[in-house]
Structure 1
Amino acid sequence: MLSLRPVRRFCSATTAAAAASSRTTAPTRVPKPKPLDEPALVKLKAERDPDKLFHLFKVNAHNRLVIENRFAFEDTVSRLAGARRFDYIEELLEHHKTLPQGRREGFIVRIIMLYGKAGMTKHALQTFYDMHLFGCRRTVKSFNAALKVLTQTRDLEAIQLFLDEVPWKFDISPDAFSLNIVIKAFCEMGILDIAYLTMVEMEKVGIRPDVVTFTTLISAFYKNDRPEIANGLWNLMVLKGCFPNLATFNVRIQHLVNKRLAWKANALMSMMWNLGINPDAVTFNLVIKGFCQAGFLGMAKKVYSALHGKGYKANCRINQTMIHYLCKAGELNTAFGMCKVSMGRNWFPSFDTIVKLLEGLQKNGQYRNAEVIMELVRKRTPPYSAYELEAFEAIMSQGRIQ
């Protein structure tokens, strides 16, 4: 079992140049202005050759605009990792530890996470262990960064050892975020019982589970078809005074929709309003999909209308769901109108949905409407694949023959 030792908490200068006047009578020559050099950040973004990218970043190792720019760091490391130039990544990041910024924990945390994104776990952990060599103080912030990188390995023994020994060794007190990292990893590994016991251990050392803890566990138990435990966790969460948030409600509504319990899902959304928690597009899409799957298209339409009535706007996924099930129910006029509006916003339904709509329109003799859909399909950016376009054209050709 995962054990946690209780540990004590602890919590450019600008320079001015003077111009000397000349006693010579010769006319003063005005030097030609030098062409402005392209900014380093622009060069880094445009460079695609990994060797040139590495050398360009290295040349700008002391350029604050570069080293303080999070995107430039992440983008450079990501592209070097894609080119499998891990030697370049190591050289760049190891050098950056020696900069004055290396004394800031936030800067070292960035290096730890970048090593993690590149899959260089050992380098990430070693950076954490060596922080005192850079004159940088460790806190739970850097501990969590190293822990997050370690959980990506899915090495249960290594995670347990790190969580048990490192806080004691460096006098760091893990927090709820620390344990949420571990619980999420264990859930993704499918070891739900250990994930639950981790929460129990967390409370024993004075770390209270939060809504993220419960939501992660509830979601995992629902996905693994263990609803009795998920429902029990929901009740336990409320009993402990930790109330569900939007994400928690969406997780439960997703479960109800999967079980074809559309009415219960809708009732739960109503409860959200009563508790002052506003549903989001995900909530509406789930409830609409639930009613559609259960064969209550009329109720799905009502929820869709209610969405607009409360000031929300349907997004691509909600429209996709409605168009798909309208076509399936044979309500082609409504599906056509919604599809036309969606495509005008560059929201294109799935390939199967468009096939269903075109076939239905052709079958009903609505050739003009089918042509309108095809005109929009041809204008899509990025375009459909050659195979998909060929399939659409084949359907249109059959209609012209008829």
Structure 2
Amino acid sequence: MASHAAYSRPRLLFSAFSSTTPRAQVPKSAPEPAPTPAPGQNAADGEADAKPHAGRNRRMRIGKILRMISEERHPDKLVSQFITASTASPRFRDNRRVYEVAVSRLASYGRRDAVAALLDSQKPFIEASRSGFAARLVRLYGRASMPSHAAATFLDLPPKHKSVTAFNALLAAYIDSGDFDKLVAAFPEPGLSAALDVIPLMEKCGLTPDEISFNSLLNGFYNNGRFNDAEKVWQMMKERNVEPNTNSYNAKLRGLVAEGRIEDAVAVIEMMQKDGPKPDSVSYNELIRGYCKEGRLDEAKKVYDDLVKNVCAPNKGTFETLVPCFVEAGELDLALSCCHEIFSRKCRVKCSLLQGVVTALVAASRIEEATRIVKLGWKSNYPPRGLKMPALTEKNQDVEAETDCDDSTPYEEGSKEEKQSDNSPVRFSWQILNARLWKILKSGVSWNQESKIH
């Protein structure tokens, strides 16, 4: 017969969700006062903005509204603009990205009161929205490390929106925040182990756990090195006839690589190739990351070849793992080859990654190849201030490349920045070279043709 504890643990978890009162996480300081209206603006203007076909919103395209909110840095103004736009436009509410950006920014400011104000303003739209909208609000509370608010939101959802998707969002909120205190207050050893009782809790609530539910648990356990608990999740999946998918195995690969168990990770990939589900780009990226951590670049390159051979497109994660390792090891031919793959596949990587290759090529006196990378980078809309030929010291040593730069202003010959820079002959020659490259890029003539002109 099952012990009393076996029944009490799910019951305790169920009671943890029975209170709709979130934990107080609002900062002690009072919220900043709302910004005063701009000259000529009155309360009526604000009311007009809240209507779909009145005021500024009628004249402003949705793209401009999204951009304006994404660029706003004042927390209270951000909340005000967000509420106005979301009230006026269903299309705005369909944009998942703008919600993530706004909540992430407010959370980075430590303004959980503002996060609560923003997300609470969206709750009136839940009833008429699809279930994904409700799950999004629950998930966003987790992104802001406010899991008790997520739980309260889930409990208040209309019955038709209390879906497995919404519960998975709640589970992810606790996994992301790492805050299981409320769930496990009655347990002698609080921690992730209590998360195993979430599956019986879901079943008690009449919800059927799916692969997303189990994958959330697997990610939480593997990210924290809890392999024994992760194995229990695999067993629970088997008992409930839930087939693990590629994401399930990717969670395991991530955990194995983090522990330095690269050979075990290789065995997982081989098993996936043989029996399925087939590995994807993320699977191979984890294996590449493991080999690079151990300095085994030949094996990493072989995995990259296998990735392409198995019709998995290399992505940003692939190149941002491989290229720095190749540069550090002096394998410039391989790094250069990856750069050309990046451009041909139109894969957007960090500007500093390309700059690192350019700097290394110049240090190795491979000027023409470095110039080619810079030119291709500019054609691919990488900013000239972030990707350029490096200045050289008297000892022919490169200076540290700039990190990612959002400034897309071309580096023109005779610019203010050029005039204020060091006027030493060597540095000035590289400035002219960068300006000349940009001139060539704009005019469309070849390097040789431009040289003949000069």
The interval holding the TM-score normalised by the smaller chain is 0.5 to 0.7
| Equivalent residue, structure 2, for 1:65 | 90
1:139 equivalent to 2:163? Answer: yes
Q: What does residue range 229-308 of structure 1 map to in structure 2 within 5 Å?
A: 229-280=264-315, 282-283=317-318, 286-301=321-336, 307=341
Contact 1:147 1:181 in 2 (8 A): yes
Q: 1:349 to 1:290 in 2, by over 3 A?
A: farther
Q: 1:227 to 1:195 in 2, by over 3 A?
A: same
| Equivalent residue, structure 2, for 1:117 | 143
* CA deviation after TM superposition for structure 1 residue 145, in Å: 0.7
* CA deviation after TM superposition for structure 1 residue 279, in Å: 3.2
* CA deviation after TM superposition for structure 1 residue 318, in Å: 5.8
Structure-1 separation of matches of 2:146 and 2:176 = 11
Counterpart of 2:251 (choices 202, 210, 216) is 216
Q: Deviations over 1:63-107 (max 9, x none)?
A: 453883445655665565566554565466456545562675323
Counterpart of 2:364 (choices 302, 321, 329) is 329
Structure-1 separation of matches of 2:423 and 2:294 = 35
1:198 equivalent to 2:233? Answer: yes
Contact 1:222 1:230 in 2 (8 A): yes
Structure-2 separation of matches of 1:349 and 1:100 = 45
Structure-2 separation of matches of 1:76 and 1:358 = 39
Q: Which amino acid aligns with 2:345?
A: Y
Q: What does residue range 179-198 of structure 1 map to in structure 2 within 5 Å?
A: 179-198=214-233
Structure-1 separation of matches of 2:77 and 2:331 = 59
Q: Deviations over 1:204-263 (max 9, x none)?
A: 332222111112221221132121322232233334322211221122123223333333
Of structures 1 and 2, the one scoring higher in RCO (CA 8 A, sep 6+) is 1
Gaps of 5+ in 1: 6-34, 384-388
| Equivalent residue, structure 2, for 1:358 | 391
Structure-1 separation of matches of 2:88 and 2:427 = 64
Segment of structure 1 superposing worse, 194-203 or 107-116: 194-203
Q: 1:120 to 1:185 in 2, by over 3 A?
A: same
Structure-2 separation of matches of 1:301 and 1:55 = 48
Structure-2 separation of matches of 1:271 and 1:52 = 50
| Equivalent residue, structure 2, for 1:130 | 156
Counterpart of 1:176 (choices 188, 191, 211) is 211
Q: 1:58 to 1:238 in 2, by over 3 A?
A: closer
| Equivalent residue, structure 2, for 1:207 | 242
Structure-2 separation of matches of 1:311 and 1:55 = 43
1:149 equivalent to 2:173? Answer: yes
Q: Deviations over 1:247-287 (max 9, x none)?
A: 21122123223333333333333333433334345545655
Q: Which amino acid aligns with 1:225?
A: G
Q: 1:126 to 1:158 in 2, by over 3 A?
A: farther
Contact 1:125 1:146 in 2 (8 A): yes
Structure-1 separation of matches of 2:289 and 2:72 = 44
Segment of structure 1 superposing worse, 142-151 or 112-121: 112-121
| Equivalent residue, structure 1, for 2:56 | 38
Q: 1:359 to 1:55 in 2, by over 3 A?
A: closer
In angstroms, what is the RMSD of aligned CA positions?
4.7
Gaps of 5+ in 2: 1-5, 11-52, 181-190, 412-416, 429-454
Structure-2 separation of matches of 1:282 and 1:173 = 34
Q: Deviations over 1:289-345 (max 9, x none)?
A: 55444444345445656x38x953576466334323323434344334534553574
Structure-1 separation of matches of 2:82 and 2:237 = 43
Q: Deviations over 1:353-393 (max 9, x none)?
A: 96xx4226x5569xxxx9xx99xx9x97599xxxxx99x95
Contact 1:256 1:265 in 2 (8 A): yes
TM-score by length of 1: 0.66
Q: Which amino acid aligns with 2:391?
A: L
Q: 1:272 to 1:349 in 2, by over 3 A?
A: farther
**Which secondary structure does the structure 2 equivalent of 1:111 belong to?**
helix
Count of residues in correspondence between the two structures: 347
Q: 1:204 to 1:122 in 2, by over 3 A?
A: same
Q: Which amino acid aligns with 1:252?
A: L
Contact 1:151 1:159 in 2 (8 A): no
Q: Deviations over 1:83-142 (max 9, x none)?
A: 6554565466456545562675323212212322333211211222333xx343422111
Q: Deviations over 1:184-205 (max 9, x none)?
A: 2223323344334423432233
Structure-1 separation of matches of 2:263 and 2:273 = 16
Contact 2:143 2:177 in 1 (8 A): no
**Which secondary structure does the structure 2 equivalent of 1:101 belong to?**
coil
Q: 1:233 to 1:47 in 2, by over 3 A?
A: closer
Q: 1:382 to 1:86 in 2, by over 3 A?
A: farther
Structure-1 separation of matches of 2:122 and 2:396 = 67
**Which secondary structure does the structure 2 equivalent of 1:150 belong to?**
helix
| Equivalent residue, structure 1, for 2:382 | 346
TM-score by length of 2: 0.60
What percentage of residue pairs aligned between the two structures are identical?
A: 22
Q: Which amino acid aligns with 2:168?
A: N
Which of structures 1 and 2 has the bigger CA Rg? 1
Q: 1:297 to 1:237 in 2, by over 3 A?
A: same
Segment of structure 1 superposing worse, 108-117 or 158-167: 158-167
| Equivalent residue, structure 2, for 1:165 | 200
Q: 1:236 to 1:196 in 2, by over 3 A?
A: farther
